[in-house]
């Protein structure tokens, strides 16, 4: 790993939070993700299961976490399962975790090698009444490949058909949505790396630069600051490309007079930042560009004023839609007749703002959490309104990350330049 060791108390706290929600005399089993084949004998870079990471901080393939709080043998109330280090494999692929290293990362004292697990696990299962198994219940999930979690669940049901089975994901959706102060410390590090990178870009961008050259600067800045890498595919969309929400070609030249929408964030310690800024390629907003940008910023600030405990994301989105309607009318995008005749299921403002306003953020960029229940203190959200105007070939989006507090929220990106004046001022020295 490139990042410095995290405080294992993060994962100790997370496990306590999970086991407190388990039924009496139950066992919970979590698997690492698969190593996925690419072509020939190559595999894709390994990406750990976020739930296992959240519980242990272990980022090694073929790992497992087993939680059995009522195990009569206290040694096995928490178990971390690892592949026994293999000298030959290490010659090819590098170091594998030893017992002490894994204990220091996770805070789990009992380490069991994978090849010795079967007989132990069978004893624990026979003692338990309920088995918690894990699957991906992210609402945005689209992958139907039968990955390890699903294969393991099927094999457990075949092997132990008379046990009571429950979904750990139902618990994790609530728990992972609430970030502890220790988790926020790590996320703030990812944000600070992203902040430094954005300031670097303000000095780098000028007419004629290629989008991929900007992407190269992002990678260089992230890695030089010990980031794991980008939290997601960098979006560097100049000119009309900005209207493509997940534009990742990043292969066009940035032209004088255009804006460039940059959506990127660092990953640090497997926690993510998510920033969007839209800036003028030549360092100076045009009159209309400034009007649109300030309208988007006004909408962003309105979002921040209402995103607080008690409101649901669906209610929040409806209120933001009302504000967007007012703002878009002021800048000439909507007429009174457009608003009067709008379809309630496809409101008029949606022509110019056609994506969600906020999403949960954490170990996953689109992290676990609910849309329908009231927002709670401790949740972490993006706020990212946009304005996309086809006839003007322009797209603007402004995104910061907000930690929900008891009475409101805290902008974790408050130090990152956001106003027209701040951005232009920093680009003057370019």
Same domain, 280 and 420: yes
* Same domain flag for 128 and 160: yes
Whether the model pTM is above 0.75: yes
Determine the pLDDT at residue 184: 98
Statement to judge: residues 263 and 391 lie in one domain: yes
Same domain, 169 and 275: no
How many domains would you assign to the chain? Answer: 2
What is the tens place of the pLDDT at every residue in 129-163? 999 999 998 887 777 788 999 999 999 999 999 99
Residue 407 phi/psi, 5° resolution?
Answer: -115, 0
Domain boundary among 138, 160, 176: 176
Structure tokens, 69: 């709080």
Residue 199 lies in a domain: yes
Looking at the fold, whether 64 and 207 belong to one and the same domain comes out as no
Report d(CA 14, CA 136) in Å as an integer: 18
DSSP annotation of 413 reads: T
- Asked, for residue 314, whether it belongs to a domain, the answer is yes
Q: In this structure, are 203 and 170 located in the same domain?
A: no
In three-state secondary structure terms, 377 is coil
DSSP summary character for residue 91: H
What pLDDT score does 157 carry? 97
Q: Are residues 163 and 204 in the same domain?
A: no
Q: How do 380-383 and 400-404 pair as beta strands?
A: antiparallel
Q: Please tell me the predicted confidence (pLDDT) of residue 228.
A: 93
Q: Which residues of the chain have pLDDT under 70?
A: 429-430
Residue 429's pLDDT is what? Answer: 66
| pLDDT computed for residue 348 by the predictor | 97
The separation between CA 264 and the C-alpha centre of its own chain, rounded to angstroms, equals 11
pLDDT of residue 145: 81
- Whether 201 maps to a domain, the answer reads yes
339 and 370: one domain? yes
Q: What residues make up the domain containing 325?
A: 181-427
- 3 lies in a domain? no
Residues 427, 417: Cα–Cα separation, whole Å: 11
Predicted confidence at residue 139, as pLDDT, reads 80
The enclosing domain of 56 has a CATH number of 3.40.350.10
Please give the pLDDT value at position 349: 98
The Cα 71–Cα 86 span in angstroms is 31
- Residues 265 and 158 placed together within one structural domain of the fold: no
Pair of tokens at residue 345: 């299921």
Q: Is residue 16 part of a domain?
A: yes
**Does 4 reside within a domain?**
no
> What is the 8-class DSSP label of residue 358?
-
Contact 401, 274 (CB under 8 A): yes
Q: Are residues 198 and 167 in the same domain?
A: no
Q: Find the radius of gyration of the CA atoms of the chain.
A: 24
Residues 143 and 232 in one domain: no
What are 133's strand-pairing partners?
29, 167
* Measured CA angle at 66 (ends 61, 71), to 5 deg: 160
Burial track 207-221 (b if 16+ CB lie within 10 A, e otherwise):
eebebeebbebbeeb
pLDDT of residue 430: 57
- Among the candidates 143, 161, 176, a domain finishes at 176
Final residue belonging to a domain, choices 176, 202, 230: 176
**Does residue 1 form part of some domain?**
no
* DSSP conformational letter for 379: B
Closest CA to 5 of 106, 110, 100, 108: 106
Same domain, 45 and 191: no
Q: Angle at CA 82, nearest 5°, toward 78 and 87?
A: 150
Residue 60 placed within a domain = yes
Report the CATH number at residue 308: 3.90.230.10
């Amino acid at each position: 790993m490139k990042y410095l060791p995290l405080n294992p108390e993060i994962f100790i706290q997370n496990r306590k939070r999970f086991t407190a929600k388990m039924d009496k005399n139950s066992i919970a089993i979590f698997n690492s993700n698969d190593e996925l084949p690419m072509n020939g004998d190559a595999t894709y870079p390994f990406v750990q299961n976020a739930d296992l990471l959240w519980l242990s901080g272990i980022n090694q393939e073929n790992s497992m976490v087993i939680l059995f709080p009522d195990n009569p043998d206290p040694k096995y109330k928490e178990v971390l399962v690892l592949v026994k280090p293999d000298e030959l494999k290490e010659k090819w692929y590098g170091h594998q975790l030893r017992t002490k290293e894994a204990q220091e990362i996770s805070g789990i004292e009992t380490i069991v090698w994978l090849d010795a697990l079967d007989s132990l696990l069978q004893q624990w299962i026979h003692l338990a009444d309920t088995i918690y198994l894990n699957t991906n219940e992210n609402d945005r999930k689209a992958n139907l490949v039968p990955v390890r979690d699903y294969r393991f669940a099927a094999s457990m049901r075949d092997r132990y058909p008379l046990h009571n089975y429950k979904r750990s994901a139902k618990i994790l959706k609530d728990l992972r949505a609430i970030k502890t102060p220790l988790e926020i410390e790590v996320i703030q590090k990812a944000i600070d790396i992203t902040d430094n990178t954005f300031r670097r870009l303000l000095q780098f961008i000028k007419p004629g630069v290629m989008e991929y050259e900007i992407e190269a600067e992002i990678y260089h800045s992230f890695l030089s600051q010990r980031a794991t890498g980008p939290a997601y595919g960098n979006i560097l969309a100049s000119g009309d490309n900005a209207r493509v929400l997940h534009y990742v070609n990043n292969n066009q030249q940035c032209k004088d007079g255009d804006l460039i929408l940059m959506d990127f964030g660092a990953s640090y310690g497997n926690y993510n930042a998510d920033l969007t800024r839209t800036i003028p390629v030549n360092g100076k907003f045009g009159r209309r560009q400034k009007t649109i940008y300030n309208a988007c910023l006004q909408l962003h600030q309105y979002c921040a004023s209402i995103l607080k405990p008690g409101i649901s994301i669906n209610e929040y989105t409806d209120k933001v839609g009302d504000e967007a309607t007012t703002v878009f009318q002021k800048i000439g995008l909507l007429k009174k007749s457009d608003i009067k005749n709008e379809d309630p299921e496809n409101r008029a403002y949606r022509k110019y703002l056609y994506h969600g306003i906020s999403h949960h953020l954490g170990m996953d960029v689109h992290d676990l959490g609910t849309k329908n229940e009231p927002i709670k203190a401790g949740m972490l959200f993006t706020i990212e309104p946009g304005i996309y105007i086809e006839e003007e070939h322009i797209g603007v989006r402004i995104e910061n990350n907000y930690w929900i507090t008891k009475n409101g929220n805290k902008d974790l990106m408050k130090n990152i330049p956001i106003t027209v004046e701040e951005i232009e001022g920093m680009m003057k020295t370019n």
